[in-house]
């Protein structure tokens, strides 16, 4: 049996990973819907669903799917167009909640992808709500010009919170265990810092090294 699922569609940054696995042998293949499909006209026209459908067909081809092999596909909306493509080609499938072995593999794949985009490890793993929108938004605002290009800017939540007024002030950080969200390095207690303040769903304060370039603000 082949399982098909997605990961990352709910993450503010990056595209969406589409993966497929042959359960018996754990042969695993994947591809990405690029983040560009979540912007402008491509997003408004839902072309990401069409791209997902093409990826699903290509993954089945890469796995050398045989007509007698069962296909189990995630029942989520992401695969609406993919199911139409499967119907057109008379490829039998069952819509289902995808569990193991694919669930862990594809989540790990997207986590590694997010880390490659620069997201800090603590934002991806070891938290109850990894890749939470407002958590990632803090990271984006810490280096706005470079990081906003990684975002799904077609989202209503981005339109609401993605271009907020940011106040930048000079400050001294008297607390320890703070990380500069721009360079990713620790901030020494008592160091002079840049203090970023903005209000999204709640007041937010971000501390950066004073030396980190703030030209974009």
Looking at the structure, do residues 112 and 16 belong to the same domain, yes or no?
yes
Looking at the structure, do residues 104 and 36 belong to the same domain, yes or no?
yes
Number of domains in the chain: 2
- Report the alpha-carbon distance of residue 209 to residue 162 in Å, rounded: 23
Phi, psi (rounded to 5 degrees) for 8? 100, -5
Residue 27 lies in a domain: yes
**pLDDT recorded at residue 185:** 92
Whether residue 87 has pLDDT greater than 60: yes
| Three-state SS at 47 | helix
* N-to-C CA span, the chain: 52
CATH for 12: 3.30.420.10
Residue 92 lies in a domain: yes
Per-residue model confidence as pLDDT tens digits over 50-71: 999 999 999 999 999 999 999 9
Looking at the structure, do residues 82 and 156 belong to the same domain, yes or no?
no
Question: Which of the listed residues 87, 119, 151 is the one where a domain comes to its end?
Answer: 119
Looking at the structure, do residues 84 and 150 belong to the same domain, yes or no?
no
Residue 159 lies in a domain: yes
Residue 214 lies in a domain: no
**pLDDT recorded at residue 131:** 74
Burial group, residue 16, by CB count within 10 angstroms (0-12, 13-18, 19+): buried
Question: Which of the listed residues 119, 145, 171 is the one where a domain comes to its end?
Answer: 119
Per-residue model confidence as pLDDT tens digits over 113-160: 999 999 988 888 755 556 789 999 999 999 999 999 999 999 999 999
Looking at the structure, do residues 104 and 186 belong to the same domain, yes or no?
no
Per-residue model confidence as pLDDT tens digits over 156-199: 999 999 999 999 999 999 988 899 999 999 999 999 999 999 99
Residue 217 lies in a domain: no
Contact present, 93 and 73 (Cβ < 8 Å): yes
- The secondary structure of 9-23 as a DSSP string is TT-SBS-EEEEEEET
> Could you identify the residue written with the tokens 């934002």?
123
Angle at CA 168, nearest 5°, toward 167 and 174? 120
**pLDDT recorded at residue 217:** 44
**pLDDT recorded at residue 35:** 98
**pLDDT recorded at residue 123:** 83
- Report the alpha-carbon distance of residue 34 to residue 40 in Å, rounded: 13
Looking at the structure, do residues 29 and 108 belong to the same domain, yes or no?
yes
Looking at the structure, do residues 65 and 105 belong to the same domain, yes or no?
yes
- Report the alpha-carbon distance of residue 198 to residue 97 in Å, rounded: 39
Residue 55 lies in a domain: yes
Q: How far is CA 120 from the centre of its chain?
A: 13
Looking at the structure, do residues 147 and 97 belong to the same domain, yes or no?
no
Whether residue 214 has pLDDT greater than 90: no
**pLDDT recorded at residue 127:** 58
Looking at the structure, do residues 87 and 146 belong to the same domain, yes or no?
no
Looking at the structure, do residues 7 and 100 belong to the same domain, yes or no?
yes
Residue 59 lies in a domain: yes
Domain that holds residue 142: 132-209
Looking at the structure, do residues 103 and 152 belong to the same domain, yes or no?
no
The model carries a pTM of 0.91
Looking at the structure, do residues 106 and 30 belong to the same domain, yes or no?
yes
Angle at CA 155, nearest 5°, toward 149 and 161? 75
Residue 215 lies in a domain: no
Per-residue model confidence as pLDDT tens digits over 98-107: 999 999 999 9
């Amino acid at each position: 049996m082949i399982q098909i699922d997605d990961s990352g569609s709910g993450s503010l940054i990056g595209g969406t990973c589409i993966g497929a696995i042959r359960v018996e042998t754990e042969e695993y293949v994947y591809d990405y819907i690029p983040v560009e499909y979540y912007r402008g006209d491509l997003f408004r026209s839902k072309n990401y669903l069409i791209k997902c459908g093409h990826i699903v067909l290509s993954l089945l081809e890469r796995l050398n799917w045989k007509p007698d092999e069962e296909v189990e596909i995630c029942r989520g909306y992401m695969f609406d167009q993919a199911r139409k493509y499967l119907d057109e080609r008379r490829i039998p499938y069952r819509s289902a909640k995808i569990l193991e072995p694919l669930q862990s593999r594809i989540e790990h794949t997207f986590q590694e992808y997010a880390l490659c985009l620069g997201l800090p490890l603590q934002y991806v793993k070891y938290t109850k709500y990894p890749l939470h929108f407002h958590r990632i938004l803090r990271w984006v605002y810490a280096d706005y010009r470079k990081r906003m290009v990684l975002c799904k800017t077609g989202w209503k939540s981005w339109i609401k919170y993605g271009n907020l007024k940011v106040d930048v002030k000079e400050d001294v950080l008297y607390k320890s265990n703070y990380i500069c969200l721009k360079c990713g390095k620790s901030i020494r207690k008592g160091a002079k810092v840049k203090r970023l303040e903005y209000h999204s769903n709640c007041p937010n304060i971000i501390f950066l090294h004073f030396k980190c370039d703030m030209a974009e603000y």
